[in-house]
Amino acid sequence: MGYRLSGHLHFCISGGKVIFLDAAADRYFALPAKADTAFQRLFLKAGPMTPSERAALGLMEDLGYLKEDLEGTEALSPCLCEVDIAHGPVREKAQVSFQLVLLALFYQLLTSVLLKTRSFLAVTNMLRRVEVQHAARRGRCATEIISAVAGAFHKTRFLLRSSDRCLTRSIGFALCCCRLGVRPAVVLGVRTNPFAAHCWVQLEGQVAYDDVGQAERFTPIMVI
């Protein structure tokens, strides 16, 4: 018998520990030591479990984190997302239009309102819908558009406080790019000791926008 994660759970291994993100509840959490060991043994398929480890998995079932996968079609797997550090972030375009700067401001303010009035899951679903609506708009190459949007976002920093706004700025960045026909990935990452979470934007593995330049220090846990 196999297992699959429930609903909107995502996980990664950071600092040797399993970290979960419940996208529906908008929260991160870790497991007690015994349950952590059992879960890692489960998805790594590292041999038989002890009775206490099986009991820990049973508790995870009771809590709704795990469900039986009777058909064995859904393998447990952490977030698979590489950060291409070697090529560095996409270079910001120095000269951008005033219209694009206004667009960057608009999408950051819109995202800020959405994250305060809607659930995180609803906002991510909206981002996916916007991607479909504007899929055919691209007129320039993706890298050129990303570079221009990055330059526009840089010019908004003096108007909008940047600290603790990585999620707002990253989703706003992706929405702005979607409007122009490019859909970058929004990546959420975590680290431990001490725990911290961060968010940035990637295009085909290369960092496209990271407002504090910290992406390489975090382990990806979810890609939107």
Higher-scoring residue by pLDDT: 5, 94: 5
Whole-model pTM: value is: 0.88
Could you give the percent of the chain with pLDDT greater than 70? 87
Q: What average pLDDT is seen over the chain?
A: 85
Q: How far apart are CA 224 and CA 214, in angstroms?
A: 18
Cβ–Cβ < 8 Å for 182, 142: yes
At residue 34, the 3 state secondary structure works out as: helix
Question: Domain coordinates of the chain in residue numbers?
Answer: 2-69, 98-223
Please write down the long-range contacts of 129-133, taking CB distance under 8 Å and 24 or more positions apart: 130/175, 130/178, 130/179, 131/178, 131/183, 133/178
pLDDT in tens, 96-135: 899 999 999 999 999 999 999 999 999 999 998 887 776 6
Per-residue pLDDT band at 4 (split at 50, 70, 90): confident
Q: How far apart are CA 131 and CA 26, in angstroms?
A: 22
What mean pLDDT is predicted for residues 54-70? 84
Residue 213 has pLDDT above 90, yes or no: no
Q: How far apart are CA 33 and CA 14, in angstroms?
A: 14
The lowest-confidence range among 6-20, 100-114, 122-136, 208-222 is 122-136
Q: What is the pLDDT of residue 28?
A: 97
Higher-scoring residue by pLDDT: 200, 137: 200
Higher-scoring residue by pLDDT: 43, 178: 178
Q: What is the pLDDT of residue 114?
A: 95
What mean pLDDT is predicted for residues 189-201? 94
List all residues 6 or more positions away from 88 whose beta carbon is below 8 Å from its beta carbon.
Answer: 206, 207
pLDDT in tens, 131-169: 777 665 555 688 889 999 999 998 888 887 665 689 999
